[in-house]
Homo-oligomer: A and B are copies of this chain.
Amino acid sequence: MYNYIFLLSLISFGAISGDAKLGQMKSPSCVYCHGTTGEAINSTYPNLDMQNEGYLYSSMKAYQNGERTGPLALMMKAQLQRLNDQDLKDIAAFYANASNNENK
């Protein structure tokens, strides 16, 4: 099992280089559920603040690609459908550092 986990740990999603300021401008619909500081408005939603930027990006890609299913996943896919790769990286950068932004 350890070898399996080790191999999976080597999977890379590529370098993430988002602009948090741009991410803030690109996330008007995100804030209805995740707030401006990444604190979810509902305990069934994820908090995003202090989350790893790379994980936030790959999660949004997974929603876009239909790799997550269920009602909330479909809603996320719809919300993200018009965003390109750089948009997702910028939003990931924004929420990964959301507790440090000026809105808190």
Contacts and interface: CB of A to CB of B under 8 A. Distances in A.
Interface of A: 1-2, 4-5, 8-9, 11-13, 29, 32-33, 40-47, 50-55, 58-59, 62, 67-73, 75
Given A43-B54, A44-B52, A50-B50, 4 more contacts: A9-B42, A40-B55, A43-B55, A67-B70
Copy count, this protein chain:
2
Nearest to A55: B46
B47 A54 contact: no
A8 B72 contact: yes
A23 to B, nearest CB: 17
Contacts of A29: 1
B71 A68 contact: no
